Amino acid sequence: MLSYSEIHSDIMKVYCMPQKAASNSGSTGETSVTLDLQNSFEDDRPAAEPSSSQTQKPASGGRQIQSVNRALTILEVIASEQDGMTLSELAERAGLNASTCHHLVATLVARGYLVNLGRSRGYAVGQKVNQLNTLAERESDPVELLKDDIRALSIRLGHGVQLAVLSETSLLTKLRFAPAKDDLKEPDDVAKMTALHATATGKAILAWIPDTELVRIISANGLTRYTDKTIVTLSGLVEELRSVRRRGFSVDNEELQKGVVCIGAALREVGGAVVASISTTVPAHQATEEYRAHLSKAIITAAHEYSNRLRKFRR
């Protein structure tokens, strides 16, 4: 087990070295590492898009209902106070007279959007708001939004297609579709959870996440060897992630399972944050350079299309 200071020294050497193609060779077994990659990828990462909170949207220009506006203002004001707010405080903050505020609050309480905490504490956000928030999050989940598209892409390519997300330090395959004629055995999902360095979906995510997240993930999972092509060195992984950013797609070249090649790309939401990745799986004997170029183009096109859909939905 390498210490933090040792890995810190090693990673600084990696970034001071001239860039060159990295070898997949390295020591066998599992390498548990802790990285300090602060600002290490700033040179080849694109500038992030402005977040939705920084972007001003024009007003729709349509007719607005005053009572609805006031009710929403009340909800927004109360949501900013976790400990509740009395009616008089709420009326003052919302810019309403006490009578109007009282009637609107009574309606919101009756519908479950506010809850009365008692005379001294006043009102707080009710369960109905939480329920709506849960529904909204579910509907904006890439798994829900893209499952039909992932199935259609699998049919069109004639190969298995999967969508994965990062959960803490684990890679979770949330969707997988394969044509009926496809008898290629997929790598085990449990093995994939800690094999981000050896999978196309994993590399597509690792290449774009903040350095602090990369530190945490590699420290937790290590760099386990699965085949003779698995990248198990720190310098090899760094170079591979640079290549992913340059190309716009990732490749698992029989690194997790012999005879299986995967090509993947990242999915982004508003602000450029990576929220998921997709990949397609093909038998190694079919993965000629020409066919890989065809699949990579299809995956990149699909990833851009899906990312645009996620951005539009979450704005």
**Using one digit for the tens of pLDDT, what is the confidence trace for 147-168?**
899 999 999 999 999 999 999 9
More confident residue, 171 or 48: 171
Q: Is residue 71 part of a domain?
A: yes
Same domain, 304 and 155: yes
- Residue recorded with tokens 């707010």: 85
Does the structure show a pLDDT above 90 at 184? no
d(CA 170, CA 93): 44
Same domain, 147 and 127: no
Does the structure show a pLDDT above 50 at 49? no
Q: Which of 115, 133, 151 is the last residue of a domain?
A: 133
**According to the model, what pLDDT value does residue 245 have?**
96
* Distances from the Cα of 32 to the Cα of 9, 10, 39, 224, 296, angstroms: 15, 14, 22, 9, 31
Does the structure show a pLDDT above 80 at 193? yes
Question: Alpha-carbon torsion 189, 192, 193, 196, what sign?
Answer: negative
Decide the pairing of beta strands 170-177 and 160-167. Answer: antiparallel
Interval 209-258: pLDDT, tens: 888 888 899 999 999 999 999 999 988 998 999 999 999 999 999 999 99
**According to the model, what pLDDT value does residue 200 have?**
97
Does the structure show a pLDDT above 70 at 18? no
Same domain, 83 and 170: no
Q: What SS3 class is residue 176?
A: strand
CB-based contacts of 95: which residues, under 8 Å, 6+ apart?
Answer: 73
**According to the model, what pLDDT value does residue 84 have?**
85
Verdict on whether the full-model pTM lies above 0.85: no
Does the structure show a pLDDT above 90 at 108? yes
Q: Which amino acid does the sequence have at 216?
A: R
* Mean model confidence pLDDT for the chain: 81
Same domain, 105 and 157: no
CATH of the domain at 183: 3.30.450.40
The band of 297, judged by pLDDT with boundaries at 50, 70 and 90, is very high
Question: Alpha-carbon torsion 97, 102, 108, 111, what sign?
Answer: negative
Same domain, 206 and 126: no
Decide the pairing of beta strands 274-283 and 160-167. Answer: antiparallel
**According to the model, what pLDDT value does residue 188 have?**
78
Q: Is residue 80 part of a domain?
A: yes
**According to the model, what pLDDT value does residue 258 have?**
95
Same domain, 156 and 302: yes
Same domain, 184 and 157: yes
Query: Region 125-154: what's the mean pLDDT?
Result: 77
The band of 3, judged by pLDDT with boundaries at 50, 70 and 90, is very low
CA count, 13 A, side-chain hemisphere, 3: 3
Q: What SS3 class is residue 209?
A: coil
Domain with 104 in it? 66-133
Q: Is residue 7 part of a domain?
A: no
Which pair of structure tokens corresponds to residue 48? 């992030």
The residue length of the chain stands at: 315
* Sheet of 250-253, strands arranged across: 170-177, 160-167, 274-283, 260-268, 250-253
How many structural domains does the chain have?
2
Q: What SS3 class is residue 247?
A: helix
* Distances from the Cα of 31 to the Cα of 215, 228, 232, 300, angstroms: 14, 15, 7, 31
- CB distance 170 to 193 below 8 Å: yes
Please choose, from the candidates 197, 201, 204, the residue with its C-alpha nearest in 3D space to the C-alpha of residue 229: 197
For the chain, the C-alpha Rg in angstroms (whole number) is 25
Q: Is residue 39 part of a domain?
A: no
The band of 13, judged by pLDDT with boundaries at 50, 70 and 90, is low
**According to the model, what pLDDT value does residue 161 have?**
96
More confident residue, 86 or 128: 86
d(CA 197, CA 224): 8
Same domain, 178 and 298: yes
Same domain, 155 and 129: no
The band of 189, judged by pLDDT with boundaries at 50, 70 and 90, is confident
**According to the model, what pLDDT value does residue 141 have?**
67
Query: Region 52-79: what's the mean pLDDT?
Result: 72
